[in-house]
Amino acid sequence: MKKDFYWAILKRVASSILVLLLLITFIFLLIRLAPGNPTQKYLSPQLSPQLAESVTRSFGLDKPIYVQYSSFVLNLFSGDFGISYNYRQPVFTVIKDYFLFTLIFSSISFIIQLLLGYLLAKYSFRKHGKSIDRYLSKLSIILFSVPTFVIGLILVYIFSVKLDVLPTSGIKSIYHDDLNSIEKLTDFFIHLVLPMITLSLAGIAVFYKYLRDNFDSVKSSSFILNLRANGFTKNEIFKKHLLPNSIQPLISIAGIEFGILLGGALLTEVIFSLPGMGRLTVTAILNRDFPLVIACTFIAGLMMVLSNLAADLIKIKMDKRYLKELIN
């Protein structure tokens, strides 16, 4: 059993490494084929052509693309993604603070999505066939279908423009440093209310819909009918049998969702000007900051891989039969 487990994990890790390598290779080629030159922001018509060549050489952009790529791959295995063109610092030094914010922000959002998705699905299941059950199902489809940026803009218009009760952007006020500890936490909370709602609504709808449908699917299974016939109560059947069997298919979806969140909630962070990985990635793309774009992409891909690997481990723990699927 242990041998099969380690072999399955080894296969998944090897395939994940290959996917990451293909991902950053694609991004490496794509950003270099895209129009625009990162050296142009440092130049002006008054400066000499010799200076332009010097700047291009300092970025290593004077070499053929295959030489740039081979050098990039060699540095990659030593953990060196290069120096950010825009910040003039190692890219991981730049990413560190941005990733910390995204990690905290995304983790809180993920917990909210799971918790509210489960509570709403459970409530809707107990009200099966009633109006509230139908309304919640329709609402979940609408929330999932509406783009994130539309939800964010609607919330800003209502609560910031019309009602003027919540800030439109940032994570703190200009007078934040003059506040005491409790007031600072309150200030952070007020600024993050709209971004958190914007980021969480679609995820809540996804978890609700999947879990609610799984409840109905498992409920009609023969073993559930057999448990009822043997006198088990509804509460016992729900907690010990229906819920575990309904959650298991949802774990893979949760792994993907958490990976996306950790990779950078791009639209939400841009709309609300949050200092996270999503906004940093957009800024790096606009500035043609090649090393930073590749590093941000790598981090996003790595988070997706790790979250999916964690989901696989949880599924194996819950059901040993899933290990055979991974091996095959």
| β partners of residue 83 | 90
Q: How far, in Å, CA of 175 to CA of 118, rounded? A: 39
> 328 pLDDT band (50/70/90 cuts)?
low
Q: 105-140: per-residue pLDDT in tens? A: 888 999 999 999 999 998 998 888 788 888 988 898
Residue 31: which pLDDT band, with cuts at 50, 70 and 90? confident
pLDDT for 307 equals: 84
Residue 322's SS3 state is helix
Tell me the average pLDDT of the chain: 81
User: What letter would DSSP give residue 241?
Assistant: I
Q: Which pLDDT does position 50 carry in this prediction?
A: 63
Domains in the chain and their CATH numbers? 2-12+96-327 (1.10.3720.10)
Q: Decide if 268 contacts 278 (C-beta within 8 A).
A: yes
| pLDDT confidence of residue 2 | 66
pLDDT the model gives residue 79 = 74
How many separate helices (H) and strands (E) can be counted in the chain? 15, 0
The length of the chain is 328
Q: How far, in Å, CA of 65 to CA of 71, rounded?
A: 10
**Residue 207: phi, psi to the nearest 5?**
-65, -40
CA 325 to CA 316: how far, in whole Å? 10
Q: Please report the sign of the dihedral spanned by the C-alpha atoms of residue 234, residue 240, residue 245, residue 247.
A: positive
User: Are residues 106 and 196 in contact, defined by beta-carbon separation less than 8 angstroms?
Assistant: no
pLDDT of residue 38: 65
What is the CB neighbour count within 10 angstroms for residue 25? 14
- pLDDT for position 270: 83
Q: Rounded to an integer, what distance in angstroms lies between the CA atom of residue 29 and that of residue 105?
A: 31
pLDDT, tens only, 160-210: 888 888 888 888 888 877 888 888 888 888 988 999 998 899 889 989 998
pTM of the model: 0.83
pLDDT tens digit sequence for 260-314: 787 657 778 888 888 888 888 888 888 888 888 888 888 888 888 888 888 777 7
What are the tens digits of pLDDT across the range 36-57? Answer: 666 666 555 555 566 666 666 6
